[in-house]
């Protein structure tokens, strides 16, 4: 009897590390010390001297049951981007700049080539988010997970100047609500989609449904907003008073997280273009419109509160970076922290 017979192949793990080496190296920044394979990732923090009062921020998240679709279609190239996006976007809403990222992979049986594709996606996400993939952990769990199953978790750390943190505390009545377009469902609400489209967790017989799940759901990774917002954040300090990453829980759970007591984000949903894929989900599953806004981003992956006199300059900065921004509402006084007009 040996470890491989028990279900853990250490040689496959060594092969996996070799396969992901180039992808990991492609994300390396000057502050990263050492290479892949050490017991701990190292970063030179001497650059923090440039900050008056540096604040360390960290996030962690996963991809959810979108991984089940990856398994059914045997397509794994975008879920790594989703993993980084879910963490990096949460970090970004504070105004922080992402520095390092680590991943955790749990699998029934390690498939080095398949997992290398996943990590290449993680590396691509890190490059979009401007951070370095500095390490991670891959664990085989025979008997706990089926051989072809895996789960992902990500961990991101970044830094911000204390006095420039964006927390929502500075939101005032009259601030304008901007909505930034999503790339699709991102990585939320897939369990509902599976319930609607899959029968006994098998791919649907309909070719159009299979095409929808593959191309409109699985292969549209979560948009990473760092390259589109960094100029607005750094170039207009104080202009953005709050940001919300619209993830699980949709508008109703996420927007109130940054709105001060006594104020309300009054949002007109008619001002936010809704991609056709959301209408398809709603009609196919007979999902109520309010439920859709309780689960999905409905076309707005990021919501921002901006000082009225700074709106035009912030919008121009975002547009210059290659993304649109829609005026979607205003902050008013109300006991409810979010109102969605048109629901």
User: Is 2 part of a structural domain of the chain?
Assistant: no
* Structural domain contains residue 244: yes
Cα angle: 330, vertex 271, 341; to 5 degrees: 65
Instruction: Determine, yes or no, domain membership for 3.
Output: no
- Please give the Cα distance from 259 to 338 (Å, whole number): 8
Segment 256-296, tens digit of pLDDT:
999 999 999 999 999 999 999 999 999 999 999 999 999 99
Q: What is the per-residue pLDDT across 47-94, written as a single tens digit (0 to 9) for each?
A: 999 999 999 999 999 999 999 999 999 999 999 999 999 999 999 999
Tell me the CB-side half-sphere exposure of residue 60, using CA atoms within 13 A. Answer: 7
Evaluate whether residue 169 is within a structural domain: no
- Say yes or no: 303 and 181 in one domain: yes
Separation between Cα atoms, residue 265 and residue 258, nearest integer Å: 10
27 Cβ partners below 8 Å, 6+ apart? 101, 123, 126, 127, 131, 132, 133
Task: Return the bridge partners of 151, or none.
Answer: 106
Residue 36 is predicted with a pLDDT of 67
156/277 same-domain check: no
Q: What contacts 298, CB < 8 A, 6 or more positions away?
A: 250, 251, 269, 272, 274, 278, 292
Task: Spell 70-89 as b/e; 16+ CB within 10 A means b.
Answer: bebeeebebbbbbbbbbbbb
Residue where a domain stops, chosen among 141, 164, 187? 164
* Domain final residue, candidates 164, 184, 205: 164
Which residues, listed in sequence order, are joined to residue 134 by a DSSP beta bridge? none
What pLDDT does residue 43 have? 87
Q: Give CA–CA dist 261/142, Å, rounded.
A: 49
- Of 284, 282, 283, 306, the C-alpha closest to 294 is 282
Query: Are 314 and 197 contained in the same domain?
Result: yes
As beta bridge partners, residue 104 has: 137, 153
Say if residue 117 is in the same domain as residue 193: no
Per-residue model confidence (pLDDT) at position 201: 83
> What percent of the chain has a predicted confidence (pLDDT) above 90?
84
Residues 120 and 182 in one domain: no
Domain harbouring 157, CATH code: 3.30.1330.10
Which pLDDT value is given to residue 9? 67
Q: Give the domain CATH number at 284.
A: 3.90.650.10
User: What percentage of residues in the chain have a pLDDT greater than 70?
Assistant: 95
Q: Which of 101, 133, 164 is the last residue of a domain?
A: 164
Burial class (CB in 10 A: 0-12, 13-18, 19+), 30: exposed
170 lies in some domain: no
Residues 74 and 159 in one domain: yes
Tell me 249's DSSP state. T
- Reported pTM: 0.93
pLDDT in tens, 214-246: 999 999 999 999 999 999 999 999 999 999 999
Same domain, 131 and 272: no
Structure tokens at 299: 């076309």
Pairing of strands 263-268, 326-333: antiparallel
Predicted local distance difference test score (pLDDT) of residue 8:
66
Indicate whether 245 and 140 sit together in one domain: no
Its domain, for residue 303, covers 176-341
The full DSSP string for 282-294 is: HHHTT--HHHHHH
- Residue 303 domain-assigned (yes or no): yes
Q: Alpha-carbon distance 176 to 40, whole Å?
A: 44
290 assigned to some structural domain: yes
Same domain, 183 and 91: no
Do 135 and 196 sit in the same domain of this protein? no
- Indicate if 213 and 251 belong to the same structural domain: yes
Tokens coding 29: 């920044």
- Name the domain count of the chain: 2
- Looking at the domain assignment, is residue 5 inside a domain? no
Same domain flag for 181 and 268: yes
CA distances from 227 to 63, 150, 187 (A): 21, 30, 19
């Amino acid at each position: 009897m040996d470890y491989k017979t028990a279900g853990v192949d250490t040689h496959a793990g060594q092969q996996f590390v070799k396969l992901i080496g180039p992808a990991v190296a492609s994300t390396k920044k000057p502050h990263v010390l050492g290479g892949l394979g050490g017991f701990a990732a190292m970063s030179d923090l001497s650059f923090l001297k440039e900050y008056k009062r540096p604040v360390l921020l960290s996030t962690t998240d996963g991809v959810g049951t979108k991984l089940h679709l990856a398994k059914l279609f045997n397509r794994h190239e975008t879920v790594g981007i989703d993993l980084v996006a879910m963490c990096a976007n949460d970090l970004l809403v504070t105004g922080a700049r992402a520095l390092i990222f680590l991943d955790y992979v749990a699998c029934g049986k390690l498939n080095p080539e398949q997992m290398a594709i996943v990590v290449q996606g993680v590396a691509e996400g890190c490059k979009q988010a401007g951070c370095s993939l500095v390490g991670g952990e891959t664990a085989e769990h025979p008997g706990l997970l089926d051989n072809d199953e895996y789960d992902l978790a990500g961990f991101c750390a970044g830094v911000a100047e204390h006095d420039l943190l964006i927390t929502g505390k500075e939101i005032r009545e009259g601030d304008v609500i901007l909505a930034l377009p999503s790339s699709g469902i991102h990585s939320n609400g897939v369990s509902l989609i599976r319930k609607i489209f899959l029968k006994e967790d098998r791919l649907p017989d309909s070719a159009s449904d299979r095409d929808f799940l593959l191309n409109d759901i699985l292969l549209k990774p979560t948009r990473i907003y760092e390259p589109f917002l960094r100029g607005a954040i750094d170039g207009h300090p104080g202009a953005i008073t709050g940001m919300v990453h619209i993830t699980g829980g949709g508008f109703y759970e996420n927007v109130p997280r940054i709105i001060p007591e006594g104020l309300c984000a009054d949002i007109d949903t008619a001002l936010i273009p809704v991609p056709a894929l959301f209408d398809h989900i709603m009609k196919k599953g007979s999902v109520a419109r309010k439920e859709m806004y309780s689960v999905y981003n409905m076309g707005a992956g990021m919501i921002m509160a901006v000082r009225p006199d700074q709106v035009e300059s912030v919008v121009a900065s975002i547009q210059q970076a290659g993304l649109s921004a829609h005026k979607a509402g205003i902050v008013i006084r109300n006991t409810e922290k979010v109102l969605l007009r048109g629901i």
